[in-house]
Chains A and B, each alone.
Chain A
């Protein structure tokens, strides 16, 4: 089972990286937009493997469904297809960009592999904690006002550090701890929509 997940993960990663490479290399801008949609889809697959099913679905809806379409419309509206996707004329910028990107991968990769991260699957020992993260729990009766305690219920179904269902937890988090950010995000989206309309609206003929 673990081996299968590894194989799927590397296939998804390869798809995402190849799609991203196509976006920055292919000459035709419209094909770049299609490659971008493919890359987004592969990233959604990685989210599913990371047990973030709500984020994965949001990724498919927002990125693959909405952003890719808007980008495609913008390409059609600017009719710049003939010009294609030229590289900067400035050689220094191209070579410098390549060096910066390569250096970033080396440094970030070194940090990732050199740091000792905690691994939930092997280091989490408390049965109640594992149960809470896997959804195999029940809430313990507490006097009113005390925090809700969670207790382990089903030993057979417990897996290692895997969320059974993140959607309910996320919903609670969003309307309790992050409610201010959620409201601010709503205002931001409204402002962005009104701003875009104001920018692209045909000016009334003078």
Chain B
């Protein structure tokens, strides 16, 4: 287990989500595919946070303070904010799907072409 393998898993998950978002027609499955892509990004962020060395800690000897150590955790903070943004996004997205379904009796995105010129 090293950074390369973590990034590879992240890339595979992102590609699967991308494929789903491009090829599925059910709006709810589209949202699920987008969640898969969010997850892939989180894996990459946490992986970088785990394996890279903060610039403040390279070289020897270094003056180690609480601030320099905390920069190593930025990836975790990114992942937490992405999780919160994904929660907001899925709540709004599903509300939109339900509102559209009430009006048009379908969750098939290829039939939602009112705006087509």
Interface residues of A (CB under 8 A from B): 2, 5-6, 9, 13, 16-17, 20-21, 23-24, 29, 32-33, 36, 39-40, 43, 46-47, 49-52, 54-55, 58-59, 62-63, 66-67, 70-71, 73-75, 77-78, 80, 83-90, 93-94, 96-98, 100-102, 104-105, 108-109, 112-113, 117-121, 123-126, 128-129, 131-133, 137, 139, 147-151, 161, 163, 166, 169-170, 172-174, 177-178, 181, 185, 188-189, 191-193, 195-197, 199-200
A77 partner, pick from B3, B18, B98, B110, beta carbons under 8 A: B98
Q: A23-B20, A55-B46, A109-B11 are in contact. Are A169 and B88 (CB under 8 A)?
A: no
Instruction: List chain B residues, Cβ under 8 A from A55.
Output: 42, 46, 76, 79-80, 83
Q: A39-B39, A123-B53, A133-B69 are in contact. Are A85 and B12 (CB under 8 A)?
A: no
- By secondary structure, the A interface counts as helix
Instruction: List chain A residues, Cβ under 8 A from B86.
Output: 62-63, 67
Q: A36-B36, A80-B106, A188-B88 are in contact. Are A173 and B73 (CB under 8 A)?
A: yes
B66 partner, pick from A87, A150, A196, beta carbons under 8 A: A150
- Residue of B at shortest CB range from A177? B70
- Residue of B at shortest CB range from A99? B19
Q: How far is the CA of A5 from the CA of B37 in the complex (A)?
A: 25
Q: A101-B19, A169-B70, A173-B77 are in contact. Are A16 and B13 (CB under 8 A)?
A: yes
Interface residues of B (CB under 8 A from A): 1-20, 22-26, 28-29, 31-33, 35-36, 39, 42-43, 46-47, 49-53, 57-70, 72-74, 76-77, 79-81, 83-92, 94-99, 101, 106-108, 110
Q: A77-B98, A126-B62, A128-B62 are in contact. Are A109 and B8 (CB under 8 A)?
A: yes
Contact B33 A24 (CB under 8 A): yes
Q: A52-B46, A102-B15, A173-B77 are in contact. Are A85 and B62 (CB under 8 A)?
A: no
- By secondary structure, the B interface counts as helix
Contact A88 B51 (CB under 8 A): no
Contact A78 B15 (CB under 8 A): no
Instruction: List chain A residues, Cβ under 8 A from B14.
Output: 104, 108
- Residue of A at shortest CB range from B96? A199
Contact A20 B13 (CB under 8 A): yes
User: In the assembled complex, how far is the CB of residue A125 from the closest CB belonging to chain B, in whole angstroms?
Assistant: 5
Q: Which of B8, B18, B66 has the most CB of A within 10 A?
A: B66
Instruction: List chain B residues, Cβ under 8 A from A9.
Output: 1, 5
- Residue of B at shortest CB range from A67? B90
Instruction: List chain A residues, Cβ under 8 A from B2.
Output: 119
User: In the assembled complex, how far is the CB of residue B98 from the closest CB belonging to chain A, in whole angstroms?
Assistant: 5
B1 partner, pick from A6, A24, A188, beta carbons under 8 A: A6
Contact B47 A50 (CB under 8 A): yes
- Residue of B at shortest CB range from A7? B1
A33 partner, pick from B1, B32, B81, B84, beta carbons under 8 A: B32
